[in-house]
Structure 1
């Protein structure tokens, strides 16, 4: 329990911020899964389109400090690598 008004306010704010961050993290994971699903279907064109669209979402989460920028780059790189391999197969 908070002992001061300031501590009580910080406790409230941190609860609100945690809820916001959880929502954004869910958005990030959904974006990654959309690209993975497009890759799984095997349609190279749809996978490339999905990657272009969701890359901005991944970058946005990195800019909001939901994930580190290097982690965002790593996710995008790995997805791009899989999309490129899919395009070569077709």
Structure 2
């Protein structure tokens, strides 16, 4: 448990930051899920549109420190390959 005023403040800041990052991560996952669903349905046009919407969200997560750059790049690469492979 935090004892000093500085440590108490840090604990509050960490909790606030955790909530923001949690919301951001959840939003990104939702965008990725829509791409996955479009791929599963076999609708290439919808998958392309969902991928175009998901890309900036994922990269924004990188700039905000939620995801590592390589993680986001790997996710985008794998998703785009799967969208491209749709009949």
**TM superposition score normalised by structure 1:** 0.92
Corresponding position of 2:29: 29
| Other structure's SS at 2:85 match | helix
| Other structure's SS at 2:24 match | helix
CA RMSD of aligned residues (A): 0.8
Corresponding position of 2:4: 4
Unmatched 5+ stretches in structure 1: none
Q: By how many angstroms is 1:63 displaced?
A: 1.0
**TM superposition score normalised by structure 2:** 0.95
**In structure 2, what is the Cα distance between the partners aligned to 1:65 and 1:7?**
22
Q: By how many angstroms is 1:85 displaced?
A: 0.3
Corresponding position of 1:51: 51
Structure 1 moving runs of 4+ over 3 Å: none
Corresponding position of 2:75: 75
Q: By how many angstroms is 1:55 displaced?
A: 0.6
Q: By how many angstroms is 1:28 displaced?
A: 1.3
| Other structure's SS at 1:32 match | helix
Q: Give aligned pairs, total.
A: 87
